[in-house]
Amino acid sequence: MTTLAVLEQRDGVLRKISHEVVTAAQRLGGSVEAVVCAAAPVQGADQAAKFGADKIVTLTNPAFAKYAPEACAQALADRAKQGGYRTIVFAASATGKDLGPRVAAKLGVGVAADLTDLVTDGDALLVTRPVYAGKALLKVKVRSQPAVASLRPNVFTPVERPKAGAAETVAVNVLAGRVTVREIKAAPAGTLDVAEAQIIISGGRGLKEPANFKVLEELARAFGGRAAVGASRAVVDAGWRAHADQVGQTGKTVSPSLYIAVGISGAIQHLAGMRTSKVIVAINKDKDAPIFKVADYGVVGDLFEIVPRLTEEIRKLHG
């Protein structure tokens, strides 16, 4: 039984989320074949071996220099049809959410999407996915052959299980496709995306005005590049912060190791986006705010006194 783990690259460099995909794939038992679409050899692709890939296949085509949805989908579907894989695993990242369904449809199946758990169950795959804004978990048996799955980012912590990782490069002959990425407008250098950050400090209406987000940005900086600043829907709708930073139902779903909610009351739409965080800290002046019900640790009081003190303490820790 072989699982096909679909890796991601950007600008010729393997994306870290690929480690999670390989980690989840090897949990299914059997062997893991990692595959990545690229224009040229991918820097860091060999790392997939460290997390359990028996084989690492680079499918090359000039169209793959930027994300080419139709060409990648065709190349992966072709590979899947030849390989007889039991399961095909994607990350439920921006790219994986776009690519997974395209590949699945070509194989005549749907995607078991945004999973927080998956295990082999006899001939089937048993998966768990949060539904209804995280207020329930749906356990589903996937009987399709192959099963196509996508994994919620930051849930499957990469575990090192070194394997051979025999490298193979295959030039594939596919059409470039009708849908093409013209450019990527990158976020300013040094900004970490909330979807990928290990630590998130989110602010809400309690910040009072947009300029005050600088206290959160200072705290994020104190964590030395591991933290991103997120936002509640209220402050995004008010135009204080970009939609890219929004955590919650109409924003991003995140699962960082540490989530610090500052001046956020904790509406259900916000909780939907962050309740799978490993540790939640809430800082709010209202001791009855619903955010304290999901928080592991709460501090009640004025965020403009508490956050700068926290920043100092974190700076001390990081020397």
Partner 1 sequence: MKIAVCIKRVPDSETRVKIAADGKSLDEAGIKFVLNPYDEFAVEEALRRKEQAGAGEVAVICLGPAAAQETIRTALAMGADRGVLLQADKIPIDPFETAKLIAAELKGATWDLILFGRMAIDDYNTQVGPLVAELLGLPCVTAVSHLDIEGTKGVAEREIEGGIEVVEFPLPAVLTADKGLNEPRYPALKGIMAAKKKPLEVKPVQPGPGTLEIVALTPPPDRKEGKIVGEGAGAVGELVRLLREEAKVL
Q: In angstroms, give the least distance from the CB of 83 to partner 1.
A: 19
Residue 280 makes contact with partner 1 by CB under 8 A: yes
Nearer to partner 1, 211 or 305 (CB): 305
**CA atoms of 19 and 27, how far apart (whole Å):** 13
Q: In angstroms, give the least distance from the CB of 168 to partner 1.
A: 27
Q: In angstroms, give the least distance from the CB of 150 to partner 1.
A: 8
Burial class (CB in 10 A: 0-12, 13-18, 19+), 186: exposed
Which residues neighbour 163 within 8 Å (Cβ) at sequence distance 6 or greater?
26, 32, 49, 52, 53, 54
* Tokens coding 304: 């403009």
> 270 near 264, Cβ under 8 Å?
yes
Among 272, 273, 274, 289, binds partner 1 (CB under 8 A): 272
Burial class (CB in 10 A: 0-12, 13-18, 19+), 260: buried
**CA atoms of 213 and 241, how far apart (whole Å):** 9
Q: Which residue has the tokens 């960082």?
A: 256
Q: In angstroms, give the least distance from the CB of 116 to partner 1.
A: 10
On the CB side of 101, CA atoms within 13 Å amount to 8
Among 93, 232, 255, 265, binds partner 1 (CB under 8 A): 93
Nearer to partner 1, 39 or 105 (CB): 105
Q: In angstroms, give the least distance from the CB of 162 to partner 1.
A: 25
Nearer to partner 1, 232 or 246 (CB): 246
Q: In angstroms, give the least distance from the CB of 252 to partner 1.
A: 9
Burial code (b: 16+ CB inside 10 Å, e: under 16) for 75-112 equals bbbbbbeeeebbbbbbbbbebbeebbbbbbeebebebb
Q: Which region, judged by CB under 8 A, interacts with partner 1, from 19-27, 44-52, 165-173, 245-253?
A: 245-253
- Annotate each residue in 201-240 with x if it binds partner 1 (CB under 8 A) or - if it does not, as one string: ----------------------------------------
Chain residues 122-141 in contact with partner 1, contact rule CB under 8 A:
126, 129-141
Chain residues 138-197 in contact with partner 1, contact rule CB under 8 A:
138-144, 177-187, 191-193, 195-196
Q: In angstroms, give the least distance from the CB of 88 to partner 1.
A: 14
Q: Which long-range contacts (CB under 8 A, 24 or more apart) does 216-221 make?
A: 216/262, 216/307, 218/308, 218/311, 219/260, 219/307, 219/310, 219/311, 219/314
Nearer to partner 1, 214 or 309 (CB): 309
Indicate the DSSP class of residue 125: E
**CA atoms of 10 and 296, how far apart (whole Å):** 36
Residue 295 makes contact with partner 1 by CB under 8 A: yes
Q: How many residues bind partner 1 (CB under 8 A)?
A: 93
Torsions phi, psi for 14 (to 5 deg): -65, 135
Chain residues 10-49 in contact with partner 1, contact rule CB under 8 A:
none
Among 98, 169, 212, 217, binds partner 1 (CB under 8 A): 98
Residue 246 makes contact with partner 1 by CB under 8 A: yes
Give the chain's end-to-end CA distance (angstroms, integer).
49
Q: Which region, judged by CB under 8 A, interacts with partner 1, from 40-48, 52-60, 68-76, 158-166?
A: 68-76
Residue 287 makes contact with partner 1 by CB under 8 A: yes
Residue 108 makes contact with partner 1 by CB under 8 A: yes
